A and B are shown apart, each in its own frame.
Chain A
């Protein structure tokens, strides 16, 4: 089947318009990564757990310290992601006692559940496929938190005007031509930044070039419909706290249900017409009760 150039342009324009108005994928198809998708590749064998990336993330995103009291001292020491921590390094241990550091931040899913959940598009995949949050559109219903299979979006529980906080891949730095803060400061290049397809090729190259060093799988290539943050690891991914999601994004099933019921609003409209006709007929038969009450 051939599509002439003008038709193709029109389709792209229409698709773009649809994407900008709702930021949503239509139908129950699984989307491919956007052509401009960028992301991170984290390599557990390279990370030394220095947490420089955690500090740099705080600075770059102007987040207040996550203070914690231990003994008689006060520390800026986050232990997990939170409304003041968009990036964290954790240590995991598998059944054989092998240890591994793990970097957690938003996975920037190819088909994000949070964006599928969001009622008026506060969370959407925008430029470079980065899942971004727009304050003006958020009523803080927290459905994104319920939906995210990685438990990434965080909420400001002690704020009067709370925000949803999550890694946005330092898009303010990308706009200036800089790399994300975590990548820029990493002394071991344990986390690198780039176009998703190039990162994926690099991940596979590393696995192939040193057989036995890595688990032979790139997490995020297809997991949960694919993510723009990719992982290679020397211990099993589930030991790093990465869920086994299968290859299909949860949002595909949710969309299938919603579209099955509401495609083109045909079913509800038809039901309303039928109901209207039935009620009109039955109400005559039952008798007009309001007048009866007046009697």
Chain B
């Protein structure tokens, strides 16, 4: 059968939704304070730890969690697994939202965001050795690509109705986009391949400040493979949440098959991770006492357990189990990124960092905005496929 995506409909301003808006409002006020009083007033950042949770979570982890669109595009369009197509559009939406919010987070984090436009607009100044430049350019481009990939969803709704200039434009744009789409989709695979790996390269330059269990010239490869695994995991997580929150018909068999793809990427990641440590002669450090080996093993266990569980048919048939283990896998990738950017980063004696309360509230505000926009869009636009299993239950508690 074909999966026809439909708007969910239903009221928007539920109680849960008001909570989200409240969180966003608090974050907005704190951001105003940050721009009035400087970064030191709202963050725990310092000269030893110049990057905190806004970079490690909102940007580095946030974009990796938003790799569902990338992972699904790889699977459906590059590997020709058309059966997963119904999962592409919701994944693209969370990707577009995740990357857009990461972009906003960067603008809040950098000290002089009013000069950000110089990065794309002044190629004569580009330092092509800077991995961060590559990340910045690719992320900016990918945000645009993601919204273009989603554009037909919005255009179709706007194309409906009377014969006005706007509807004619929407129809023409839909036709044009449809022709260009293969090349846009290819760009939507190329750009994350580039910047998700470059997010690893960024920390190569931290040199001896990053612990040897994480510091390797193979960081780009490890970041790339793990972001694909996180992408698959997040598609399962989001689909399960849609079942819970919106009463969608469970797509358990499809998600079960998808979880096996996640297992494969995790296996690949672990081969690279341990292979790299062996080549660099760092395997001994795994058994050294202290918090670094502990963090490493925590990461590894969080990767291994879900990958093994996804091999069991009982887990693959059970939506709750798939959801839980996918959350663990996403957590594993998140911890790997937190370790690389914060926990295994040591600028030397005398420095420490813990996020300040306003810093955390701003991050929570970003998450709230992301969820709020997702809920609003799936209620008003055709994103989620398949009929509702429990008709009438569209009330959301976000």
Contact = CB atoms under 8 A, between A and B. Distances in A.
A78 interface: no
Given A119-B119, A139-B116, A293-B4, A257 B186 contact: no
B131 interface: yes
Contacts of B112: 138-140, 161-162
Given A275-B78, A293-B4, A293-B5, A288 B111 contact: no
Which of B35, B45, B125 lies at the interface centre, i.e. has the most chain A CB atoms within 10 A of its CB? B125
Chief secondary structure at chain A's binding surface: helix
Interface in B171-201: 174, 178, 181-183, 185-187, 189-190, 193-194, 197-198, 201
A118 B130 contact: yes
B186 A272 contact: yes
B206 A280 contact: no
A120 B133 CA distance: 8
Contacts of B152: 290
Contacts of B279: none
A139 B186 contact: no
B132 A283 contact: no
Chief secondary structure at chain B's binding surface: helix
A227 to B, nearest CB: 14
Contact of A147 (B76, B78, B109, B206): B206
A245 B382 CA distance: 56
Interface in B105-145: 109-113, 115-116, 118-119, 122, 124-134, 136
A83 B36 CA distance: 19
A134 to B, nearest CB: 10
B206 A268 contact: no
Given A25-B129, A137-B118, A285 B174 contact: no
Contact of A157 (B39, B85, B124, B193): B39
A151 B78 contact: no
A116 B47 CA distance: 19
B124 to A, nearest CB: 6
Interface in A139-189: 139-143, 145-147, 149, 151, 153-162
A45 interface: no
A35 to B, nearest CB: 22
A56 interface: no
Contacts of A293: 4-5, 156, 382
A113 B204 CA distance: 10
Interface residues of A, number: 75
Interface in B319-377: 345, 347-348, 350-351
Contacts of B38: 156-160, 162
A254 B201 contact: yes
Which of B51, B127, B186 lies at the interface centre, i.e. has the most chain A CB atoms within 10 A of its CB? B127
A217 interface: no
A141 B113 CA distance: 9
Given A120-B125, A155-B111, A279-B77, A141 B82 contact: no
A279 B182 contact: yes
Interface in B19-39: 35-39
A261 B223 CA distance: 14
Nearest to A25: B129
Contact of B201 (A26, A159, A257, A271): A257
Given A113-B207, A138-B115, A157-B38, A119 B136 contact: yes
A74 interface: no
A116 B217 contact: no
B26 to A, nearest CB: 21
B111 A139 contact: yes
B217 A257 contact: yes
A283 B77 contact: yes
A242 to B, nearest CB: 11
Contact of A149 (B39, B134, B208): B208
Interface stretch (A1-9, A16-24, A47-55): A16-24
A250 B205 contact: yes
B134 to A, nearest CB: 7
Nearest to A23: B127
A288 B178 contact: yes
A276 B348 CA distance: 47
A117 B205 contact: yes
Interface of A: 21-26, 80-83, 113, 115-121, 136-143, 145-147, 149, 151, 153-162, 241, 243, 245, 250-251, 253-259, 261-262, 268, 271-272, 275-276, 278-280, 282-283, 285-294
Given A280-B183, A291-B178, 20 more contacts: A80-B350, A116-B205, A119-B126, A121-B125, A121-B127, A143-B130, A146-B205, A157-B38, A157-B46, A158-B37, A158-B38, A160-B38, A251-B205, A258-B128, A261-B220, A278-B80, A279-B182, A286-B85, A290-B178, A292-B4
25 contacts: A21-B124, A22-B125, A116-B205, A119-B127, A119-B130, A119-B133, A121-B125, A139-B112, A145-B50, A146-B51, A146-B345, A155-B111, A160-B36, A162-B39, A245-B207, A251-B129, A254-B129, A258-B130, A258-B201, A268-B194, A271-B190, A275-B186, A282-B76, A283-B181, A293-B4
Shortest 7 CB-CB contacts between residues of A and residues of B = A140-B111, A157-B40, A250-B207, A286-B82, A142-B50, A275-B186, A145-B50
